């Protein structure tokens, strides 16, 4: 019991997210901490347990296999959700369904995305990642079959409803997997891969879809989804291991804590020259560390047996809890939006930029199918290439570059990492993204050469990938112990905004015209992305101020998920 209380105190002594990441003082600050093998100056955060079954302790190939399957899952989720817009023109001519009704069927999808996460993510927390990956992969496969056989508006609405409910998990479960498997200094890169897979589904899949429609008919867009999503489902049945982890605290290496607790008054003061003020120190539940472990990491206790194949691949990993606790878990994300400014910030940031891109996607057929562009399905699909190029660059910018930057800034900050360090990189896309919207909207309505609006799409694709990655990893690093509920809040806000904007898009354009609509969208993008500035300035103060609330909710959530630093 004392060990449990000591661990909880260690987790909450510092502001949530503030950790020692780098040996910067040269005074042995990391002497008792677990560091990166071969890099004794970089501290592993969170500190892993000594259990070889802890996903943080898995070998590189096991982590890579699991995350590769999660990445493929992400690709097919967003492919199924986004390829339909390329076929709007064909559906309008062949099936007689109006553009307005097609937009409404897409809005049904975004509404289902918003609602589905509220129930399905708490189920993921309670019963594990594996059953939800399998169930939603199967549901997406079946929804693709329905979509391929669609003939009337009701088919489009129904299949979009199913794919939206299943796809809602994709907005959070992969981020939870990243938090299960990887350390702070790796999360930017891993989330960058996730964002890249999202954007491959959003941007690259429509390119392929245009060619498929021309060569084989629009139905084969979805038959290929049936094939590849089905194969992903089968691969997950046999190879995806459960990453939800619980272990007795007696076997755990405790998280680090501040020697001197930070207060709200000094949260924004410059670092003092005395390195001891910001030095973090670790304690362990065992007086001595175990000998060299079977996975090649010297903190792992090889006396703990590895789980068997069947144990690692069991269908359900249930944790005890009452119905009342589950209902609280379902409702808690809405409390997080109110209690934690970082959750509200990420929800607004992520939701706004993705909603605005939905406007771009829904406008392409109407703007570029008629003269002077006369784009057919293939050309409309190819419009996604600039966005994909921008997204690849943005994923690198917000991923590996941000991981490199936080090590540099932590070293300058006496080794102490603050999650706000990542947000400095949000400033460049905050200006490039709105510029891209202006170039796209004004260029298309003015009849400029198609290169101009496509360059605008590329700029906005860069901003989309960069800001999405940076804001999500900021949330991981700030509130790891309430991540599931926080991601539900982000998902609900994001998809609610997308639903409202997609439903309002046609009346909006009718009232204002495309040109003024995109000018307003650019202003909204600029305002939302510049909210990174107050978070850079006041983010740590907010984390300090609401640390006690975080402790309270982390303790409640710990009945379902183990506490991590």
Residue whose C-alpha is closest to residue 56's, from 36, 75, 39, 40: 36
Residue whose C-alpha is closest to residue 461's, from 513, 397, 506, 403: 397
Question: By the 8 A CB rule, do 354 and 529 touch?
Answer: no
Give kind and range of the element (H or E) at residue 561.
none
Q: Tokens at residue 214, please?
A: 């021309």
Residues 6+ apart with CB under 8 A from 359: 501, 502, 505, 517, 518, 521
pLDDT (0 to 100) of residue 105: 85
pLDDT (0 to 100) of residue 280: 40
Question: How distant, in Å, are the alpha carbons of 148, 227, 339 from that of 222?
Answer: 5, 9, 42
Class of domain 56-244+334-557: mainly alpha
Q: How do residues 328-370 score in pLDDT, each as one tens digit?
A: 888 888 899 888 999 999 999 988 888 888 788 778 888 898 8
pLDDT (0 to 100) of residue 430: 95
Q: How do residues 57-113 score in pLDDT, each as one tens digit?
A: 898 999 999 999 999 999 999 999 888 877 887 888 888 888 788 878 887 887 888
Average pLDDT on 410-423 reads 91
Q: Report residue 165 CA to chain centroid gap.
A: 17
Q: Is the pLDDT of residue 152 over 90?
A: no
Least confident of 67-81, 295-309, 455-469, 490-504: 295-309
Question: By the 8 A CB rule, do 154 and 31 touch?
Answer: no
Q: Alpha-carbon distance 345 to 356, whole Å? A: 17
Average pLDDT on 170-193 reads 89
Q: Alpha-carbon distance 145 to 126, whole Å? A: 30
Q: Report residue 118 CA to chain centroid gap.
A: 16
pLDDT (0 to 100) of residue 559: 53
> CB count, 10 Å around CB of 412?
13
Q: Over 434-480, what HEC string results?
A: HHHHHHHHHHHHCCCCCHHHHHHHHHHHHHHHHHHHHHHHHHHHHCH
Give the pLDDT band of residue 292 (cuts 50, 70, 90): very low
Give the pLDDT band of residue 284 (cuts 50, 70, 90): very low
pLDDT (0 to 100) of residue 103: 79
Task: Judge if the upstream peptide bond of residue 238 is cis by omega within 30 degrees of 0.
Answer: no
Write b or e for each residue in 520-548: b if 16 or more Cβ atoms lie within 10 A of its Cβ, otherwise e: ebbebbbebbebbeebbeebbbbbbbbbe
Average pLDDT on 540-561 reads 81
Q: Alpha-carbon distance 83 to 72, whole Å? A: 16
Q: Tokens at residue 520, please?
A: 């307003």
Q: Is the pLDDT of residue 10 over 60?
A: no
Residue whose C-alpha is closest to residue 496's, from 25, 73, 45, 115: 115
Q: How do residues 205-261 score in pLDDT, each as one tens digit?
A: 888 888 888 888 889 999 999 999 999 999 999 999 999 886 544 333 344 443 333
DSSP 8-state class, residue 306: P
Domain boundaries, the chain: 56-244+334-557
Residues 6+ apart with CB under 8 A from 234: none
Give the pLDDT band of residue 420 (cuts 50, 70, 90): very high
């Amino acid at each position: 019991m004392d060990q449990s209380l000591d661990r909880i105190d260690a987790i909450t002594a510092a502001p949530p997210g503030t950790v020692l990441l780098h040996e910067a003082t040269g005074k042995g600050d990391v002497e008792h901490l677990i560091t990166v093998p071969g890099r004794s100056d970089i501290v592993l955060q969170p500190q892993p347990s000594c259990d070889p079954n802890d996903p943080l302790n898995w070998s590189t190939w096991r982590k890579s296999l699991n995350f590769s399957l999660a990445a493929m899952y992400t690709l097919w989720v967003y492919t199924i959700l986004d390829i339909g817009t390329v076929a709007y023109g064909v559906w309008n001519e062949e099936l007689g369904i109006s553009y307005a009704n097609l937009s409404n069927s897409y809005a049904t999808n975004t509404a289902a995305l918003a609602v589905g996460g509220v129930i399905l993510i708490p189920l993921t927390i309670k019963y594990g990642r594996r059953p939800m990956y399998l169930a939603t992969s199967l549901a997406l496969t079946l929804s693709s079959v329905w979509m391929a056989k669609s003939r009337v508006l009701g088919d489009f609405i129904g299949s979009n409803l199913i794919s939206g409910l299943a796809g809602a998990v994709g907005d959070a479960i992969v981020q939870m997997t990243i938090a299960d498997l990887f350390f702070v200094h790796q999360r930017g890169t891993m989330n960058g891969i996730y964002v890249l897979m999202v954007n491959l589904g959003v941007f690259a899949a429509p390119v392929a879809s245009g060619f498929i429609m021309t060569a084989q008919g629009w139905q084969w867009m979805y038959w290929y989804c049936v094939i590849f999503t089905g194969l992903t489902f089968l691969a997950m049945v046999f190879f995806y291991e459960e990453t939800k982890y619980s272990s007795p605290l007696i076997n755990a290496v405790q998280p680090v804590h501040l020697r001197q607790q930070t207060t709200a008054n000094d949260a924004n003061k410059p670092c003092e020259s005395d390195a001891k003020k910001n030095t973090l120190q670790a304690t362990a539940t065992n007086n001595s560390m175990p000998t060299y472990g079977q996975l090649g990491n010297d903190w792992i206790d090889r006396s703990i047996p590895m789980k068997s194949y069947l144990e690692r691949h069991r269908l359900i990993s249930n944790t005890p809890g009452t119905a009342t606790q589950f209902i609280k878990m379902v409702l808690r994300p809405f409390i997080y939006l109110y209690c934690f400014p970082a959750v509200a910030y990420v929800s607004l940031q992520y939701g706004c930029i993705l909603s605005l891109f939905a406007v771009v996607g829904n406008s392409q057929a109407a703007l570029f199918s008629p003269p002077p562009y006369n784009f057919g399905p293939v050309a409309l699909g190819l419009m996604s290439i600039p966005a994909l190029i921008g997204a690849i660059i943005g994923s690198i910018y917000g991923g590996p570059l941000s991981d490199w930057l936080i090590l540099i800034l932590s070293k300058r900050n006496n080794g102490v990492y603050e999650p706000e360090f990542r947000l400095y990189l949000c400033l460049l896309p905050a200006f490039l993204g709105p510029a891209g919207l202006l170039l796209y909207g004004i260029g298309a309505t003015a009849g400029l050469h198609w290169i101009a609006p496509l360059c605008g799409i590329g700029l906005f694709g860069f901003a989309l990938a960069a800001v999405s990655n940076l804001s999500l990893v900021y949330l991981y690093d700030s509130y790891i112990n309430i991540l599931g509920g926080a991601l539900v809040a982000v998902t609900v806000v994001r998809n609610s905004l997308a639903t409202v904007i997609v439903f309002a898009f046609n009346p909006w354009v009718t009232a204002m015209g495309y040109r003024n609509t995109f000018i307003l969208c650019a202003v909204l993008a600029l305002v939302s992305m510049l909210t990174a500035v107050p978070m850079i300035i006041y983010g740590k103060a907010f984390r300090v101020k609401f640390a006690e609330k975080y402790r309270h909710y982390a303790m409640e959530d710990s009945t379902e998920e183990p506490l991590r630093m």
